[in-house]
Amino acid sequence: MAVAKHIQVYDTTLRDGCQSEDVSMTVADKVQVAERLDDLGFDYIEGGWPGSNDRDAAFFREIRKVRLRHAKIAAFGSTRRANIRAAQDRNLQLLLRAETPVATVVGKTWDLHVREALRISQEANLEILNDTIAFLKKRVDEAIFDAEHFFDGYFSNPDFAIACLKAVDEAGADLICLCDTNGGRLPHEIESAVKAAQAAVRCPVGIHCHNDSEVAVANSIAAVRSGAIQVQGTVNGFGERCGNANLVSIIANLQLKLGYNCVPPARLRNLREVSTLVYELANVTPFARQPYVGRSAFAHKAGLHVSGIQRNAQTYEHIDPAAVGNDRRVLLSELAGRANIVYKAREFGIDISPDNDKIALLLDELKRLEGEGYAYDGADASFELLMLRTLGLTKEHFNFVSFRVFDDKWHEDQAPFSEAVVIIEGPDGVRTRNSAIGNGPVNALDSALRKALIPYYPNLEAMQLADYKVRVLDNGAGTGARVRVLIESTDGKRRWGTVGLSSNVVEASWQALIDSVEYKLHKDNVKPRLRHHARHNGAKPRAAHASNPHDDASENRA
More confident residue, 450 or 316: 450
Lowest model confidence (mean pLDDT) among 98-102, 196-200, 307-311: 307-311
Confidence label for 479 from pLDDT (cuts 50, 70 and 90) = low
By three-state DSSP, how is residue 175 classified?
Answer: strand
The three-state secondary structure class of 507 is helix
Residue 552, φ and ψ in degrees, nearest 5: 55, 50
Instruction: List pLDDT tens digits, range 370-409.
Output: 788 888 877 889 988 998 888 888 888 999 999 999 998 8
355 pLDDT band, cuts 50/70/90, is: confident
Highest mean pLDDT among 130-134, 348-352, 476-480 belongs to 130-134
192-201, 335-344, 479-488, 518-527: least confident range = 335-344
Query: Which pLDDT score, from 0 to 100, does residue 554 have?
Result: 54
More confident call, 306 vs 101: 101
Comparing 60-64, 158-162, 493-497, the range with the smallest average pLDDT is 493-497
Q: How far apart are CA 361 and CA 364, in angstroms?
A: 5
Mean pLDDT for the chain overall: 89
Q: According to the model, what pLDDT value does residue 415 have?
A: 83
The CA-CA-CA angle for residues 480, 486, 492, to 5°, reads 150
Report pLDDT digits (tens) over 421-446. Answer: 999 999 999 999 999 999 899 999 99
Instruction: Pick from 263-267, 313-317, 476-480 the range whose average pLDDT is largest.
Output: 263-267
Return the H-helix or E-strand segment holding 167. helix 158-170
pLDDT-derived band at 545, boundaries 50, 70, 90: very low
pLDDT value at 539 more than 80 = no
Question: Quick one: pLDDT at residue 312?
Answer: 79
φ, ψ dihedrals at 56, nearest 5°:
-65, -40
Contact 386, 401 (CB under 8 A): no
**pLDDT value for 159:** 98
pLDDT for residue 553: 53
- Which pLDDT band, with edges at 50, 70 and 90, does 2 fall under? low
Least confident span in 302-306, 322-326, 341-345, 464-468: 302-306
Rounded mean pLDDT, 30-37: 96
Residue of 371 and 242 predicted with greater confidence: 242
Each residue of 270-307: pLDDT tens digit?
A: 999 999 899 988 988 889 899 999 988 987 776 666 56
Lowest mean pLDDT: which of 135-139, 320-324, 433-437, 550-554?
550-554
pLDDT at 547: 44
Q: What is the DSSP string of 217-272?
A: HHHHHHHHHTT--EEEEBGGG--STT-B-BHHHHHHIIIIIS--BSS-GGGGGGHH
Domains of the chain are 8-282 (3.20.20.70)
SS3 293: coil
User: Is pLDDT of 530 > 90?
Assistant: no
Please state the rounded mean pLDDT for residues 313-338.
77
Separation between Cα atoms, residue 60 and residue 15, nearest integer Å: 12
Lowest pLDDT segment from 77-86, 137-146, 243-252, 535-544: 535-544
Q: 152 in helix, strand or coil? A: helix
What value does the mean pLDDT take over residues 157-174? 98
**Measured between alpha carbons, how far is 470 from 468 in angstroms, rounded to an integer?**
7
The pLDDT of residue 303: 61
Mean pLDDT, range 102-106, rounded to an integer: 98
pLDDT at residue 558 in the model: 45
- pLDDT category, 531, cuts 50, 70, 90? low
When pLDDT is cut at 50, 70 and 90, the band that residue 239 belongs to is: very high
Positive or negative torsion for Cα 26, 28, 33, 38 = positive
Going by pLDDT thresholds of 50, 70 and 90, the confidence category of residue 313 is confident
Q: What's the pLDDT score for residue 23?
A: 92
Across 142-158, average pLDDT: 98
